[in-house]
């Protein structure tokens, strides 16, 4: 049967996508895999809202991360490896739409009239010391929560779409604090904590995801929760003990004075 499929130029996975009534064994894909099936996987992940910037048929770190996040969101064992259960869930997956399962984010006024871009941020916050006054924490967290539901986009830095570090930079700028643009530079802010129990609301949390070091970031809310721009669901609240985030937790930075 597989030989016949190859002769007519249809892969095993393609047969699944086009809704064939025949039952085929789906291929296991993981880091190092390449070819047409990986290309289909990347296109499907992208179509249902997961960030894949390079749809190239090569199963790299970005694809592995997107698969792991999809598995987490669909309560599949998180391995980063595409197995039968993952293929079945992908076949049924639909893209998140405003007004259905994600509330539309609240509209926030921008610094520049008619624009979401913050044009004036002042001097850059210093590294290795607290930068957020205690009496400003509630306002900052309120700003952060007001963007829940804003979609993710790599390079996004406005309420139209955020990436993780663009979201933090925007939220802090709205509260008069200018922080660096990238997660690895933001990791230089504040004082390192020994464990999450030392964190207070308003502090920063960092994770290692698609590359070594600080490659993802969020704002700590208390009770082991943090808010961040997730590449799968946009701005949302997650927990530090989540099965996806816990093993990727790099550390927290205490920035509250």
Q: Is 152 left (phi over 0), alpha (psi -120 to 50) or beta?
A: beta
Of 131, 124, 129, the closest CA to residue 179 belongs to 124
For 189-221, b/e burial (b = at least 16 CB within 10 A) is bbeebeebeebebbbbbbbbbbeeebbbbbbbb
* Residue 34 known to be catalytic: no
Catalytic residue among 34, 217, 228, 254: 228
| Alpha-carbon gap, residue 74 to 243, rounded angstroms | 12
**Phi and psi (nearest 5°) for 222?**
105, 160
Catalytic residue among 34, 36, 216, 254: 216
Cα separations (Å) of 199 from 85, 127, 145, 213, 214?
A: 37, 18, 18, 20, 17
* Residue 254 known to be catalytic: no
Cα separations (Å) of 48 from 15, 43, 66, 90?
A: 19, 9, 11, 9
* Residue 216 known to be catalytic: yes
Residues serving a catalytic function are: 164, 216, 228
């Amino acid at each position: 049967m597989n030989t016949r499929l190859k002769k007519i130029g249809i892969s095993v996975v393609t047969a699944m996508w086009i809704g064939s009534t025949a039952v085929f064994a789906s291929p296991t894909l993981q880091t190092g895999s390449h070819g047409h099936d990986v290309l289909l996987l990347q296109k499907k992940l992208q179509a249902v809202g997961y960030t894949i910037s390079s749809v190239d048929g090569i199963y790299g770190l970005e694809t592995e991360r997107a698969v792991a996040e999809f598995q987490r969101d669909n309560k599949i064992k998180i391995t980063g490896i595409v197995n039968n259960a993952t293929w079945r869930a992908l076949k049924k997956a639909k893209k998140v739409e405003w007004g259905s399962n994600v509330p539309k984010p609240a509209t926030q006024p921008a610094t520049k009239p008619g624009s979401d871009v913050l044009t004036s941020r002042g001097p850059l916050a210093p590294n290795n010391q607290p930068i957020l006054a205690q009496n400003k924490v509630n306002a900052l967290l309120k700003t952060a929560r007001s963007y829940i539901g804003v979609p993710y986009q790599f390079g996004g830095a406005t309420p139209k779409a955020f990436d993780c570090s663009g979201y933090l930079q925007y939220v802090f700028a709205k509260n008069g604090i200018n922080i660096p643009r990238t997660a690895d530079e933001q990791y230089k802010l504040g004082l390192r904590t020994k464990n999450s129990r030392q964190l207070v609301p308003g502090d920063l949390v960092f994770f290692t995801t698609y590359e070594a070091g600080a490659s993802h970031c969020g704002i700590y809310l208390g009770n082991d929760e943090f808010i961040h721009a997730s590449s799968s669901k946009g701005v949302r609240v997650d927990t530090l003990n989540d099965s996806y985030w816990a093993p990727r937790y790099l550390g927290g930075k205490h920035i509250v004075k």
